[in-house]
Amino acid sequence: MNPYIAGTMLGLVLLLAMFISGRGLGASGGLKYCMVSIVGAVDRPHADKSVFYSKYFEDGKKPLKNWLVLEIAGVIAGGFISGAVSGRLKLKIEKSPRISNTRRLVFAFLGGVFFVYGAQLARGCTSGAALSGMAVLSVAGFVTMIAIFGSAYLFAWFFRKNWI
Amino acid sequence: MGPISSLISMPEWLDLLIALLIGIGFGFALEQAGFSSSRKLAGMFYGYDTTVIKVFFTAAIVALVGSQFLSFFGLLNLNLVFVNEFYVTSAIVGGVIMGAGFIMGGFCPGTGLSALSIGKIDAMVFFAGGMTGAFLFAETYPAIQNLANGAYKGPLKINEVLGISPGLFTFLLIAAAAGMFWIAEMAEKRFSRPDITNEI
């Protein structure tokens, strides 16, 4: 789809979230709640003792019963619908022909570790902090956006063999 | 006057159903934008495909202008819409770490989910890495608590810092975006890589 039309569609979804629920869009937050829920299921005493996890279980709260978790479940469903409509459903590893599958997957894993760690620190990722933040004129949104893209440009040279 | 969630007390199931529906729209838009392809996303940083900046700024401007129109016509109270709180250090340090993750993995969390939904195995691995990153953050939180909560400035708005109206700032942002779109189009010609763009 033309990027300006897709961008308009994305902007309207964001506007809808602001108008209906008074909040922006997010992605990394939902991952955090899923992770907290797993930790709670595996080792509940550890979760109750921790300053980080305990707040998600206070007063019998269930971390999976959360706006952000349902939202990312929707993201997966919406992406699937779009892929089905446009004939893009296919199980595959996408990578440059110059690198091996293993190399692609190792870097994909590391990328995930870094991205979501940083997103927890900055209280949001490209969606929750940068995009939604900019739409409400928050300084945090603009600063995070510049930091993400600036740093990716800075590091792009070191990882160029993976992509070009 | 919206947001609707402030007008009526929504039962939990309705609130969560709305979250699911908004998520479906979000995921659909991300996938239609082409964000389910890591090589397309990475193109932003090598110049051969600049879809990212076009979609990102168009979306931010549509939501920004739309919300200000709704507010102008008395349909949306912007004081009730969440504004991200500004913790100077963690916004910058977190952003730099995210940028490194972006260029290594080729996804951000939202685009990774949209790619995973259409069967990209690298995105599933990115997701596993993301869960690990969230876990590492939780486990290291006691040690980095001061960094994470330091230099707190509150839900600061950029137009207030600059001492201008939201409308004027929005106008300047649109002008800046138009300039960036023009540069992006030039970059795609200058750094064109048909071998990559024909495959993605």
Q: Mind giving me the DSSP string for B77-139?
A: -GGGS-----BHHHHHHHHHHHHHHHHHHS--HHHHHHHHHTTBHHHHHHHHHHHHHHHHHHH
8 A C-beta contact, residue A109 and residue B125: yes
- pLDDT (tens, 9 = 90+) of chain B, 200 residues, equals 889 988 888 899 999 999 999 999 999 999 999 999 999 999 999 999 999 999 999 999 999 999 999 999 999 999 999 999 999 999 999 999 999 999 999 999 999 999 999 999 999 999 999 999 999 999 999 999 999 999 999 999 999 999 999 999 999 999 999 999 999 999 999 999 999 988 88
Please say whether the beta carbons of B109 and A119 come within 8 A. Answer: yes
Predicted local distance difference test score (pLDDT) of residue B64: 97
**Secondary structure (3-state) at B23:** helix
pLDDT at A155: 97
- Counting every residue written for chain B, the total comes to 200
Residues of A in contact with B83 (CB under 8 A): 133, 136-138
Distance, in Å, from the CA atom of A63 to the CA atom of A93, rounded to the nearest integer, reads: 32
For an interface test with B, which of A37, A89, A163 has the most B Cβ atoms less than 10 Å from its Cβ?
A: A163
Q: Residue B149 and residue B177: Cα distance in Å, rounded? A: 32
Chain B residues lying within 8 Å of A129, measured CB to CB: 84, 91, 94-95
Question: Is A99 an 8 Å CB contact of chain B?
Answer: no
Mean pLDDT of chain B: 95
pLDDT in tens, B86-114: 999 999 999 999 999 999 999 999 999 99
pLDDT for res A60 = 87
Q: Do the Cβ atoms of A164 and B193 come within 8 Å?
A: yes
Phi and psi torsions of B15, nearest 5°: -60, -45
* B112 neighbourhood in chain A, CB within 8 Å: 27, 112
A146 in contact with chain B, both atoms CB, cutoff 8 A = yes
Q: Which pair of tokens denotes residue A110?
A: 């590391």
Amino acid at B97: I
Q: What is the pLDDT of residue B9?
A: 87
Residues 23-62 of B with CB under 8 A from A: 23-34, 36-39, 42-46, 48, 51, 54-62
pLDDT in tens, B137-164: 999 999 999 999 999 999 999 999 999 9
CA B200 – CA A153 distance, rounded (Å): 21
Contacts of B36 in chain A (CB under 8 A): 79, 83, 88
* Residue B164 burial class via C-beta count within 10 angstroms: exposed 0-12, middle 13-18, buried 19 and up: middle
Q: Which of A1, A75, A110, A162 to mutate to test the interface with B (most CBs of B within 10 A)?
A: A75
Residue type, position A76, single letter: I
Among B84, B86, B128, which residue's Cα sits nearest to residue B105?
A: B128
Q: Mean pLDDT for each 10-residue chunk of chain A (164 residues)?
A: 96 97 95 96 93 91 94 98 96 94 97 98 96 97 97 96 93
Judged on CB neighbours under 10 Å (0-12, 13-18, 19+), A107 is buried
Cβ pair B27:A38 closer than 8 A: no
- Please state the ipTM of this predicted complex: 0.96
- Indicate yes or no: CB of A147 within 8 angstroms of CB of B32: no
Is A3 close to B34, i.e. CB distance below 8 A?
A: yes
Nearest residue, CB atoms, B67 vs list A18, A65, A129: A18
> How close B189 comes to chain A (CA, Å)?
16
